[in-house]
Structures are given as structure tokens and as C-alpha cells.
Structure 1
């Protein structure tokens, strides 16, 4: 094989070198149609140019259109091609244009088909007479001289169809017991072959064999017999192409009885063309050899073709490599010059990049230090006012004269003061780490016992969210470390896990001792971390995508405290499956124990009331308070438990209040209860407020609900982004409760006015007053459905809902919110309005009008009409 490849490569190289100075020829190829047989010929012609680099091919296909083929050949003549290879569609149709080319001195090779003109240079193709004769003889032998045959011919008037038929009939002359009972023309097409076979079957003509003049028509005839479940009819064809689904495969699989190899031999066609162009001897008529294919030899022929395809692929690959090598050789000098220029440019760029990186790092370090210094200064300034807030609140909260609502408000203040104090401490601690001033205060303690206590701090919060907390420590682990800092590490990791673990999830808090190391891990099955965020998750001020609110200091402090203990912090995560945060540190830190400290007090913030934690939403029965049913419904969506509690306390006297901790849950509740207004935060886990707003405004059932975005994002561009996502109002935190109450009332009042505007049920009402395209489309669609179906007495709310795509309950709530009427009332009013118009403008009597607008009885119609208009319809 290597020798074979070497010979081909050498031949290609020698041919390429020898033909560089030869004349270049342009050969036009005009195909009468497109099919896999002609595709095979075209590919072979292209392959032949690998050995004849002085020949360029131009292809055109007429798709069985005589006029188009004439135009294409005229174009080749106009372009001045050196030689034409033509496969005529029919004998007579394009003879004149071929004569024109021949008379202009352009050599013409007729391939596969002939014309009725003698003006051609050479003919090459299979012997169609022989193919037809061979198939006729084969069928006669199979039938043993007796039987009935149907023939499906190709294009009427084409030379292959005529010659194959002549050969076929001559072969049958020796067998008088065989009759051709039907002859149809299918234009070489599979579908037409199937249609003609359908026609033969429909006439109930008993036949034993079908001779189709090509395999495509044969397969079409076969499909017809299978469709009609006709058995016993055997089918043969011509072409025997060795391609998937071709004649050779169908013969091998027993679907066709036989076929006849109708060769393409593009290599011989190209060789004949070059013999003519280069004035070498050639024969004028060249007939290619064919062969009968039966089930006995089909598999062997297919194997041979597969090997030929492999060799062809190798040859194509080698030819490509040769072209590449020659191109590289011809451009080596240019490459050397370009390489020199590029090298100099790269050196300059590298110097520039290096200087840029150094400057950028210096700027980043200065910016980071400036940011930390700013936070540190602010933190120091916050400590005094926080103290002045915390002490008075603690004093007042113990006053027995406070009512429950006042005490609840003060507890919210107390918890959030603790949050701010914790944040201030974290910033100052991180600054100490950065400045190298943070020291370890070592003590010996039982890590296992402390881990149990730390995990219990999250028990209440976990119970609310139905999260399973699991402690996995095989045996007591005693370590020497800074107990407070280890507690801070574990607290931060557990808080993060609680924040990003969904309702019903699991958190595992574990530790193992291995030689002189201890491994502490917190794993969850929450939302996980994007792969692109993992390398930066412990960087200070870094916030991962979809992380919600935060400072970006907590995990940086985890890493800093771990490294202070000469350990390592790591994370592994898979998006949508959860995360595992782990720290590894020595069991015993070097240094003296400062003192045996008492059990540390719990953290400043009770995790059960963690401000930043997205607490679970209560079940709908718990959310909807048993208050006055006439109160408007407000849905509050915020991941901060205290904000929700505060808003509930402030709004519950005036409104029914429901809650959700993220946009996804809020959207589900909104679809179930359809509130009058929604107040939503923007920065939330799972689904943020902008995405929530976008989905709500595009949901046909709830798009009419006004949304107030209540958020700390107060820049003008952030406000614009909120309104672009469909928000009806945007209020920045910290907010005025009076302003919020006024905005809620205004939006609800505007919605009521809009409802009154549409309650007239007038088709001319201006739907542009609606706030969203979804609502406009809904009203337009609802009006159309009602107007089109007014006369249908069986038209029901369910039918209207099915056509619009809403359930009965969703349709009722939507229509009621927009128009002030139920769907049934709106339908009745539309019918009565139409009836009034008919009574005033036509000669129909009351009964006729009643039936025309969908009332089942005139008496009920009269009753409804009088209630609506205050008078009898007879007037």
C-alpha cells in the first residue's frame, strides 16, 4: 500500500511539474438532469483533473428542461469553451444548438445519449441496446419462456429509452410465450414510476415481471406494490449504482430481482476529451461495457466499490497534500519575509503588553487598596451610630407597653443593626489580614462538639425551608486552632449553603482527620456555580453570576482565615447540582495556647433570622390571610425576610398580602392567585426581578397586573432597564412608606379606571390605553371570538378559553380585571348590543333577532333585553 501511495504521489508531482507550461483547456459539461448517476459521473470527471491539471471543468444541469439546456450550451459557446461534453435530454430537442457549437469549431462529445444529428466529434456511453437486450433475456429465462410483463420506460423520445426498449423487445422475440401487456413512460423519475405502477395495479392486470428502464423507476414501482400489498410481482431495473439506497443494494437485499451496471467512467470521458484537444488518436464511437447484477454477485460488487471509494478518498487526500506542498514551495520567500516582519512586531507587542500588565496590576492594586481603605473608613464611621442605634432599640424593645406590631418592627431594626455590625467586623478583619496584622489566638478544643453547635444555629431556618441538615463526623476530632476564626469560616460556608439551597434540599456538614490534617467540608445540592466563576470565587469583592446580593467579602475572609492557619480553601461545583466547599488545615497549629477559652458565644447574627437568606415561601393557604375578601391583593417578592415582614406589617391593614422569596416562586403564586398588584425586589436568587417582570408581562393570564420594582439599584440607567422590562413603577431603597402606599393606591385606581373604560363593551374603545402588547392582543382576540360566534348558542366560557389558551378560572380573572365584567356577562352584553343594532336597522322580528345573536329562546332574550336597556325589544 505504501508503495502504491508513493507511486500515486510521484505521478501527481511529475504530472504537475510537466503540465505547468502546457496549454490550459476549459471544458463545458452540459447535463440534461440531476441524479445520483450523473453526480457520480461529475465526481469522476473532477477526479480525472487530478492527473490533468491543464483542464478546467464548468458544469451546468438543465433539470430535464430542453429550453434551459439550450441556453446553457449557448452560454458555453459565448464563453468560448475549448470542448463540450453534452448529455442531450431528447433526440430532437437540442440538435440545433449542438450543430451550432460544432460549426463554430468547438469539439462536441455526446455522452450517454445521442441526437438525430451527425454533427458531433465523438460519442461515449454504455450500449443501451445491449442493456435492454440483457434484461429481456434474463426475464425470459426466469419465466422459462412464459409470462406477462409490464415495461416502465424513461423519457419518451430520449435515445436511451428508445434503444433499451428495442433491445428488450428483440430479446423477447425468441420467446413467443412472453407478452408485454403494458408499456408506460415515467421520465426516469421514482415518483412517476410509482404512479404508473399504481395505474397498472388499478387495472388488475396479472403480471409476473416489471422491467423498469432505470433503478429509480424500479424502486418507485416496488413501493407501489408494497403500498397495495401486492406480492409475486418481480421487478428489475438498470443502473446498479453502488450507493446507499441504490440499485445494487436493493438487489443484494432481494427487493429487486436484478439490475444492469450502466457505467459512468468519467476517467475515460476525460481521457477522450484530452485526446481530442491534444490531437491524439481517438475513436468516434465508444461503447462502455456493462454487466448483469443479481443477488449472487451484488455483495461482491459492493465490497469492490467500497474499496474503490477508499482508494478514491486517499487519492483526493494526496492530491490536496500535493497542492499544499506546491503552494508552500512557491511562497517560501514571501513567508520568510513576512516571518521576519511579524517577529519584529511580536517583540514590540510583547514589550508593550508586558508594560501594560505591570501598569494594570499596579492600578488594580491601588484601586483595591483604595476600595478597602474606603470601606475601612466607612466601617469605623458606622460603629458609633450603630452603637447609638443598637442600645436604645434594645432598651425600648423590652418595654411592656409595646403592641405586637411595634415590637415586631423594633425586632427587625435590631436584627439589621446586627447585620451591619457583622459586616463592619468582616471588613475590618479583612483589612487586618491584608495589612498582616491579624493574629491567631490558639486554643485546644473538640471540633466535633463545636460543629454540632454551629450546625444547630441553622436548624430553625432549615426547618422553614424544609432543608435537611446532616452532620458527618465519624469520631471526636481535637484540634489546636483559633476557635473564633474556625467558627467564622464554618458560619460563612453554612450561610452560603443555606442561601443557595432550594426548598427541600440537603446540606452536609462534615469533617475527617487524616494523619496531621483535618478536612472540613460543607456540601449542598443547590443551584451550583458557573464553571467560569469557580477560579475567582474566593477573590475579594468578586460576585458570581446569579449570586444575588452580597459584598464579596465573606468567601475572601474564609480563604484568608484558612491560609492564616496554613491551610487551603477549595470548591468543586456543577451547575444545577450543587457545590462542595472544603478547607484543609493542620490538626495542631504551631505556637502556644494563649488560654483555654470558654465556649464561644453564638455569632452576632442568629442565622434563623439571617437578613440575606431567601427564606422559603409558606404554602398558599398560609400566605393568604383570612381577611376581608373585598381588600385588593398585594404580592410581595423579596429574598430578604425582614423586608417582607416589614411590608406585610405596613400593608396588611389595607390589603391582603402574599409573599414569595424569589421571582420563580412569585411567578407561580401570581398565576394562582392573580393579585391586584405586585411589589418585587430586583436582586434575588433563582430568578431576579427583571426576568420575573419580563415573564409576567408576556404571560397572557397575568400580564395586566401592575408591578412596582422596590430595589436598592437607583441609577438612572437601572431605572430605565426596569421600565424596559415592563415595570409600572420604580422605587429606590431606602424608601418612604407613604410614597409606596400612594403609588400602590394610584396603580390600583388606574387599573379600576381602565376596567370601567372597557366595561362598556364598545368595540371602538381605544385599546392603546392598555399597558402591554399582550393585553392589547388579548382584548382584540377576545372581541374577535365573541363577534364571530355571537349566533352560536353553544358558545361557552370554556370554548372561549380553549381558543385563547387560558383555563376557565384564568379567563375569568383576566377579563374581570380588564373589563369589570365576567366573561359570561361580557358575552351577554355583546349579544344584546348586536340585537339592539339588528332591531333598529333591519326588518327582523324579535324571535329572528334572538336566534341570530345566540339566545336559545325568545322569552329569555326579551327578559335579558329589558334588564339591559329598560324597555321591551318590541318597542
Structure 2
């Protein structure tokens, strides 16, 4: 019960403290930020719009309105709209200066989900939420109808338009003229822009020869007032009636000008500022609003001007009263808020002081209980750590033991193969190549296992350095010679240089030649044939260091990957070759055991720099041995490797035409193995992946075997390119890869591969797959060649080859009676070369394109002999033969019967 009370009191204490000191403020309603971009700032009508917005927004506490003034500068207005988009405004209201420049910004806001309300003016897009404004067509129509209602005999109007090309200017003009054009007694004598008002109107009034006008229709009240001033200066203001637009309340605005008799009338054009805020608030509260919100407009003349003025006066008085009341309410709310906070604070402190006394009494019980729980928890964690460590040690020991177990059978395999290679019976036999392949790959597997064991030792820090004095150049030269034959075979410029052949340093030879081996293996792996690899030993006379530089002209390492090359299991982003990813990590560890360092740079290849101390002062006494240590022969002894030439078999010349196989693979051992397996039965061509597509186009083989991980393009890309190209689309393709996941299998089929085999694979299955695909291709050829007359577009199989043959047949049939139609003409119409056409049809049909055209001509002639009464000569010319005799000879060679005998039979 005591524990329960302690918990309860503590919780109540925390809750009251939180309420009193953190949440004592009045919760504010969620604020909505509304921004308005005003295009014109100094105009009275625009000021009235701004005022109406502010008044309407002041009625709602949740609305925070910001008005941006563009001052008739479109670039400023663009920046205002972009600012509102980027700063999270909830609603954007815009009165665009012109209809086009803001379109892309408004559409961007609309696409981001920000409601956009257009006011007064429109844009050349429908991507906005709502439009608010009077119908400017109605404004023009109302002005025209008002003039027409005066029933004067002849009315000549001076129309004064705005100078910009905004939507109100265009629509007020169109609405006015739509009515005027139907009134025979009304005509627009002149139509001018407000920027030309003074010179043009003065010129018209001063000129006797020009047509007079007795009405002025101006697009706003200010323009109409300016026109009246010009007329007054000429003394003709009483003979002209002035009509404006806006109907604003205030000094020198439309309503007062009508009252004073300066304007005959003004067309009320409501600003819509208050309506825009109302619509914005509805949108924020997820209410549906119409896209077009048209405000009513009317004519204000001497009959209703005073009524309108009185209404505006009352509205202004009400607004002043509302503002005064809001100010008083605000003051009362602030007083209430202050008092409420003070009361809550005092109450909170009182309750807190009472609760703290109780908490102090019971807190020691809680602390003691928590302490006991932590002690128990710590004991559990320690037990779990011991269990995890024991489990991990067991797994690692199993892994290490298993790796050691691998070494014994591999060693036995190597010993047995060495014995077999000395056997005189095997030496002259083709089997020697197979034995050599097993031997080299067994040694490669042994090196990988040794690297795994080294990695384990490094992780456990079980390596003991055994450094002995060593001639660095002679040590490097011994390793250099082991790689020299590989360089000669690949025509790589491989050099070893030094500025001091007698330099001796202390190194652990066994560890250091593992470093050499890893760096040189990487250099040869990533350097192309005819490249360059250098080892340069530099004795720095001025200090106590020697540098060993390994530089190659290979693919290099991307700059972003340089920091990670020495991490365990790391692979560079441009490395598509199989790799364990621990070689460079081990090399760095071995060099640092010598108190040295290893650095990497990459520019036109890769360069590794080893920096080692001279002398032995940097080593502990137990790290130095005074008897030379033997280098691990299992790593360096490459002299017993089988030469690559042992795997080369020169094909016996054979006049018999054989099927051809193109193997695209970058593993030299695998490609040699497959070549030697296929070479007895097929013409075998090879590519390392760099020129696979080009060789396929050049050779047009009967079948292609392709790996996925290749240096230039992947096998998926190569397969897709070949299947989409007319020249090679018919060739069966087998994907051969180590990737055996579902995604890779699906991707291979999507790229157009006919078969997907994973490594390790059975050669028997691969060989039978090749035979089956070639057999199926022969069956397809047989069908095509024996159904020439049946292949047409209506019976298309949908394959590329079928469509190709259908197109050929259409072209041949169209030119069937043309004896001059040749293979060159056909190739030109198909938009391919003559050689490509020949190879493609030969691969699909097994016959030349010339024979194919001849067969179609003869099949058609055979049908004509059976079904028509045409003479043999007419049939010969109708099927494109140059003479009846040539036709008869060709027909007899094809069907073993003359045309005449065939018809009679």
C-alpha cells in the first residue's frame, strides 16, 4: 500500500507541476496564414480592396493576413508569390498584373496542394481554386445599356481604355461593343488608351474636321475625371456626358463625382476583398466553394448615388464600433488571462508544496526498490553477455576449424594433380588441360581460405610479427617474377625499379608478400590488356623511411570510394568483378603491424603507397628474428601453374558448314573451358564482354551464351540490345550466371533471354540446351521455307522474325512483275544493308535471299498455271522473269516438271 501511495503522489505532483508551469497559458486557436499579392498599390480601388480584406480578416481570430504590394512590377509580384509557396502559407490570394507571367507559379502552388484564389483578374490557366470578381463583360454591357436607355437620336462615344492588356480591360471593351454594335444610333467615334488621354482628347476637341463626340466611356472613375478636366479646360464639359467604372465611396471617387454632377453615372465594380477572405475561410474549413464567384454590378447615377453614400457611411460607422468593441474585448481577455495565470500559479505552488512533503517521505522507498531492480537487471545482462560471447566463440571456432579442414583436402588435391601432371600418359593428352584447370582453381581456393584465416587472426589480434633483415629489392624481384608471365601473356608493361638495390629493412616476409600479392592481384585484375603496372622502391635519403609504390593504368577507384577501400568487405561502386573484399583490409593491417602506413590515390589508374621504417628501432625485441624466415611457398610458388597455352586447342580445318556459338564471358578459365568443350562440334567465337555486341552483329552466330557481370554492359543489357535489333533478334540467347535469385531470373527473361542457367552448372545440360535451341530454330526455318505463300500480315505470329518475313513478302509481291527488282532494291526498302539482309534471311530460312525471291516467284507462277488461262509467256512476265525460256528452266529445276507439262497434268 505504501508503494502504491508513493506512485500516486509522485504522478499527481508531476501532473500539477506540468499544468501550472507549462500549460498555464491559454490554448491558442490554430492560426491560418493567408497571403495576398496586390498587383497595383496606389490606386484608390485597390486600396479599398485591401481595406475590405483587412476588415473581414479582423473578424476571425484564427486568420493571419499578410498583404504584399507589387507596385505594378511583375518581377516583384513573382517573388512575393514564390515566397508564399516556399514558406507554408495556407491560402494564397492573387490579383495578377497580367494574365500570363504568373501562370507557372500559380500552377506550381496548385500542384503542391496550396489553395489559390484569383481576385479581379484572371490568368491563362484553369489551375486555381476559385476566382472572385465582377463580370467585366457585364460592366461593359451595363455601361452600353445605360447609354442606350437615354434615347438620344445620335450618340458618339469616346472610349478610354486601360493601357495594359489585363483581362478586365479586354472584357470591358468586348461587353461594351457587344451592345453598341446592335444600337444604330450609337457609335464609338474614338477608342484611345489612358496613357494617350491628354494629347489625343485635346487634339480631337481642338480639331474642327474630326467627328465630334457627346459621351465619354472611361474604364475607371479616375480616367473619367481626368477626361472631364480636359473638357473643362476647353470649355465643353457641359456638352459631354461622362461615365466611369468603380463606384467607390470617398473624396473624388465615383459616388461623390456623380453627386457633384461631374459624372453622369458610374458602374459599380465591387472589389471583392471581403468575399475573397470569406471564400478562403470556407476552404480552410474544408467547405466546398464554387470555382467562379461572380459579384453583382449595377449602375450608380443621380437617382441612387446618395443612397449608396449613406449605406457606406453606416457601414463605416459600424466598422468603427466593431473595432472599438474588439479592442475592449482584447483588453478584457488580457486581464482575464493574467489573472487566470496568477491564480493557477498560486494554486499549483500550494498543491506542490503539500505534495512534496509526502513525496519526500516515500521517495526513499522508491529509490531503494529501483536500486534492487537495477542490480537484478545488471546481473541478467552480464549473464546474457556471457551466453552471447560463448555462442559467438563457438560459431567462430567452428568457422575457423572448418576453414582448416578445407586446407587438408585441397592440399591433397593439389598434390595429386601435380603427380598426375608428371604422368607421361596424361602429358600428351587433352586431359592435361582439364587437370590444369582443376589445379589452378584449387590453388586459388586455397589462397581464399588462407585469407579467411588471416582475417580471423587479425580480428583476434593473434598475429605475432617476425621481422628479419631483408634485401627489399631482391624480395620484391622474387614476387615480380611470379607475375611476369601473366604480364607477358596479356602484353602488360610490367616493371620493377629502385634507387637502391642494396637497401635492407626489417619485415615479416610471410606477411609482406601477402601484401604484395593482394596489391598486384588487384592491379592485374583491373588493368586491361596492353596496360601498364609499375613497382617503384624509393629510399628516401633525407629521412628514415622507404616508400614502395604500386601503380597501374586500370579502371581506377571513384573519388567517393577512396575513403572506404581498406574497410573489410568493401567493394568500389565501379567494381563488377567477384571479390571477397578483405584483401586490402588485411594488407593495411599487416603494414600497420610493421608500424608503417598504406595510402591510395586514383588518377588515370590506381596508386598504392607503402611507407615503412628503415632499421629496427621502431620494433620491439620480441618482434625481431635474426634467422631469415622462409616465405610461404603456397602463396608465391606460381612456377608450377599450368601455362595458358596448355588450354589452347587449334581447330582442325573443316570444309563442312557447322553451327556457330558466340561465348561472352570475362572469366578466362571458364571461357577456355567452354571453348574446348564446344570446339569439336561448333565454330566457337569468344568475347570478354567489351565487344560482345559488335561481334554478334559481325558474325550473326547461331546461338549466344552470355554472362551477366561484364566490364562494359551487363548481360541483361547485351541481351536486350541484340533482341531488339533486326539483325540479331532471331538468335537464341542463354544467360549463364552466378546470380540465382528470383529478381535476376525475371530480369533475364524480361531482357529476352531464351534460357537462364545458374553457376555451378552441368555442362551436359548446357550442351543439350544448345542442341535443343538449334533444333527448334531449324524447325522454324522448315516452316517458313515450306509456307512462303501462307506468310502474310493477317496470319502474323507477332514475333520480330514473322513480322520481318511478312514485310519482305509484301514488298516482293508488290514488285512481283518487275523483272528488274533486285536484292539491292529489297534491302533499300527495308532500310538495311544487302549483307545484313543476306545474313538475316540465311539465319532464319537457311536459304539466300535471291533463292527466297525466286521461290516466291515460282510459287506464284504455279498458282497462275493452275487457276488462270494466261499463257506461259504471260505468266513468266507477270511473275518477274526476264524471258519465258528462263522461266521454264527455273520452274523445271524447282518442281522437276516443265510449266507446260504441269498445266496439262
Shorter-chain TM-score bucket reads 0.5 to 0.7
| 1:284-299 superposed matches below 5 A | none
How far is 1:422 from its partner?
1.0
Name the structure 2 match of 1:455: 480
Q: How many residues align?
A: 618
CA distance in 1, matches of 2:458, 2:493: 34
Name the CA shift for 1:757/1:110 in 2 (closer, same or farther; >3 Å).
same
Name the structure 1 match of 2:424: 400
Name the structure 2 match of 1:664: 690
Q: Which runs of 5+ in 1 are unaligned?
A: 1-10, 26-39, 62-70, 87-93, 135-162, 171-264, 286-361
| 1:501-512 superposed matches below 5 A | 501-512=527-538
Matched residue SS, 1:424: helix
CA distance in 2, matches of 1:762, 1:741: 32
Which residue among 543, 547, 572 is the counterpart of 2:571?
543
How far is 1:478 from its partner?
3.4
Name the structure 2 match of 1:261: none
Which residue among 603, 607, 610 is the counterpart of 1:580?
607
| 1:47-62 superposed matches below 5 A | 56-57=95-96
Q: Does 1:376 align with 2:400?
A: yes
| 1:220-231 superposed matches below 5 A | none
How far is 1:438 from its partner?
1.1
How far is 1:691 from its partner?
2.9
| 1:436-451 superposed matches below 5 A | 436-451=461-476
Q: Which runs of 5+ in 2 are unaligned?
A: 1-39, 55-70, 82-91, 101-121, 150-158, 164-168, 181-185, 211-218, 227-243, 264-385
| TM-score (norm. length: structure 1) | 0.59
CA distance in 1, matches of 2:546, 2:874: 91
Contact 1:461 1:607 in 2 (8 A): no
| 1:683-722 superposed matches below 5 A | 683-722=709-748
Name the structure 1 match of 2:116: none
Name the structure 2 match of 1:81: 133
Which residue among 111, 118, 123 is the counterpart of 2:162?
111
Q: Does 1:855 align with 2:881?
A: yes
CA distance in 2, matches of 1:686, 1:614: 24
| 1:386-785 superposed matches below 5 A | 386-402=410-426, 403-476=428-501, 477-514=503-540, 515-545=543-573, 546-573=575-602, 577-588=604-615, 589-592=618-621, 593-597=624-628, 600=631, 604=635, 626-661=653-688, 663-762=689-788, 764-765=790-791, 773-785=799-811
Q: Does 1:281 align with 2:289?
A: no
Name the structure 2 match of 1:125: 194
Structure with max Cα Rg? 2
| 1:1-12 superposed matches below 5 A | none
Matched residue SS, 1:480: strand
Matched residue SS, 2:528: coil
CA distance in 1, matches of 2:637, 2:559: 32
Contact 2:600 2:607 in 1 (8 A): yes
Matched residue SS, 2:529: coil
Q: CA RMSD in A?
A: 5.4
How far is 1:750 from its partner?
1.6
User: Which fold has the larger relative contact order, with Cα–Cα distance below 8 Å and residues 6 or more apart in sequence?
Assistant: 2
Contact 2:510 2:632 in 1 (8 A): no
CA distance in 1, matches of 2:408, 2:431: 25
How far is 1:768 from its partner?
13
How far is 1:468 from its partner?
2.1
Name the structure 1 match of 2:144: 99
Matched residue SS, 1:485: helix
Superimposed CA distance per residue, residues 100-150 of structure 1 (whole angstroms, 9 cap, x where no aligned partner): 69999xxx962259777689999743449979999xxxxxxxxxxxxxxxx
How far is 1:399 from its partner?
0.8
Matched residue SS, 2:600: strand
How far is 1:20 from its partner?
9.6
CA distance in 1, matches of 2:592, 2:764: 49
CA distance in 2, matches of 1:517, 1:271: 95
CA distance in 2, matches of 1:648, 1:269: 94
CA distance in 2, matches of 1:664, 1:423: 28
Deviating more after overlay: 385-394 vs 777-786: 777-786
How far is 1:555 from its partner?
2.0
How far is 1:431 from its partner?
0.9
Superimposed CA distance per residue, residues 185-215 of structure 1 (whole angstroms, 9 cap, x where no aligned partner): xxxxxxxxxxxxxxxxxxxxxxxxxxxxxxx
CA distance in 1, matches of 2:843, 2:507: 63
Matched residue SS, 1:491: helix
How far is 1:496 from its partner?
1.2
CA distance in 2, matches of 1:609, 1:785: 64
Superimposed CA distance per residue, residues 391-425 of structure 1 (whole angstroms, 9 cap, x where no aligned partner): 22211221111233111211111111111111111
Name the structure 1 match of 2:166: none
Name the CA shift for 1:79/1:802 in 2 (closer, same or farther; >3 Å).
closer
Matched residue SS, 2:859: helix
Matched residue SS, 2:684: strand
Superimposed CA distance per residue, residues 326-379 of structure 1 (whole angstroms, 9 cap, x where no aligned partner): xxxxxxxxxxxxxxxxxxxxxxxxxxxxxxxxxxxx999999999966653432
Q: Does 1:810 align with 2:879?
A: no
Superimposed CA distance per residue, residues 610-661 of structure 1 (whole angstroms, 9 cap, x where no aligned partner): 99x999x99xxx9876345423222333323222232233222222222223
Contact 1:624 1:658 in 2 (8 A): no
Superimposed CA distance per residue, residues 834-875 of structure 1 (whole angstroms, 9 cap, x where no aligned partner): 333344445544444433433333332232223223333342
Matched residue SS, 1:380: helix
CA distance in 2, matches of 1:667, 1:421: 36
CA distance in 2, matches of 1:572, 1:614: 33
Contact 1:719 1:730 in 2 (8 A): yes
Superimposed CA distance per residue, residues 448-506 of structure 1 (whole angstroms, 9 cap, x where no aligned partner): 34334433333332233332224343444432222232222122112112112223322
Name the CA shift for 1:563/1:855 in 2 (closer, same or farther; >3 Å).
farther
Name the CA shift for 1:72/1:407 in 2 (closer, same or farther; >3 Å).
closer
CA distance in 1, matches of 2:796, 2:446: 47
